[in-house]
Amino acid sequence: MVATFLAGAEKLGLSCGWLPRNAKECEGFGTCAFGCPSGAKQSVDVSFLPDAVKSGADIYSCCRADEIKVRDGRAVGVRGHFLDPRSGKPTGWRIEVESKVVVLAAGAVYSPYLLLKQGLANSSGQVGKNLHIHPCMQTIALMDEPLDPPRGIPQSSYVDEFQSEGIMLEGGTVPPEVHALCLPQTGADHASLMARYPNMGIFGGMISESDSRGRVLNLRRPGNRPTLTYSLKSRDVEKAKAATVLMAEIWFAAGAKRVFTPIAGHYELRSERDLRRLERSTVRASDILAMSAYHPLGTCRMGGDPEWSVVKHTCETWDIRDLYICDGSVIPSSPGVNPQLTIMALAIRCAGFIDERLSAAP
């Protein structure tokens, strides 16, 4: 499937290629998002966690942190409780840890949420604000020949011709249940299309250099869940439309007979005429039936001024000594690419600062 899309991009003279992947002996099961059967993905359960255990770390799974313990302006530990792995309900067992340093690494949604619940590290008022994501549009193509999804790598290729304009195309294969969610049709029409799943391919367009922002809120919802808000600005809507048009052009160049989009009034494109009608149309945020969102960042942003940031360059919070935040929430804005390597580099750098801090402690 991916080779077909890249062939269309090459036919149009667009810059494209295969994404580098840190995987060993990958067999292309296509289930990366649900867990790798062979361990080739090198997720933390077969990489960092075993190394940590060898170095003396204790790992507590099915454990939810409830509270950061603070004493005299310092973080001194964590309180939490255990959950049943099957039901997700509390078991009644609790845990309390005393420590010299606390590292909060719950991601750009739950790190600020935990701080907001306790009213911690928020003298700037920035905790939970500045939520950045990479909004993404999907297009699906129907071909005459089988494309054999979901074999292969879910995200394995790219078209970066317009990356400088904030549009990056990335894609691969997805299993049928995910594919079904991306089709705009319903009922019998949807079922008829899904019957032709082997002949369909999917690709995504990621938006960066975004004007849009969101927020993580603690509205005390049932189930201990945060509330997220996000407003898609008009400039990003235009990029979303442009990414959709570009993907459709590539699909048609690759031989697609029909292209399906999530934009109201343009759910199905059958010809160049349909494509140009979409290109000329005015699209509002409310016209987009579905978008996906990736790489949440920025909700505990790093900076040099405590009035406008949550953590210092060391990842330690301005307000609470020995409380470090080390995840995507400290990255001030979206970089336009997957931030995995950036977050890993920050973690290594943060570990170095913590080592210096503990080594200097009396």
Catalytic residue among 132, 190, 295, 313: 295
Strands 268-269 and 74-83 turn out to be unpaired
- What stretches of the chain show up as alpha helix (H) in DSSP? 2-11, 48-54, 107-118, 176-182, 187-194, 234-253, 272-280, 340-360
Rg (CA), the chain: 23
Instruction: Answer yes or no: 295 catalytic.
Output: yes
Q: Which amino acid is at 299?
A: T
Which 3 state secondary structure label does DSSP give 251?
Answer: helix
Question: For residues 162 and 157, what is the distance between their CA atoms, to the nearest angstrom?
Answer: 15
| Tokens coding 136 | 């993404």
CA nearest to 297, candidates 181, 355, 212, 361: 212
Distant-in-sequence, close-in-space partners of 271: CB < 8 Å, separation ≥ 6: none
Bridge partners of 157, per DSSP, are 18, 171
| Tokens coding 248 | 């459709």
DSSP state of 20: P
Query: What is the DSSP secondary-structure string of 201-241?
Result: EEEEEEE-S---EEEEEEEEETTTEEEEEEE--HHHHHHHH
Question: For residues 120 and 71, what is the distance between their CA atoms, to the nearest angstrom?
Answer: 12
Q: Is the peptide bond before 150 cis (omega within 30 degrees of 0)?
A: yes
Which 3 state secondary structure label does DSSP give 2?
Answer: helix
> What are the catalytic residues?
295
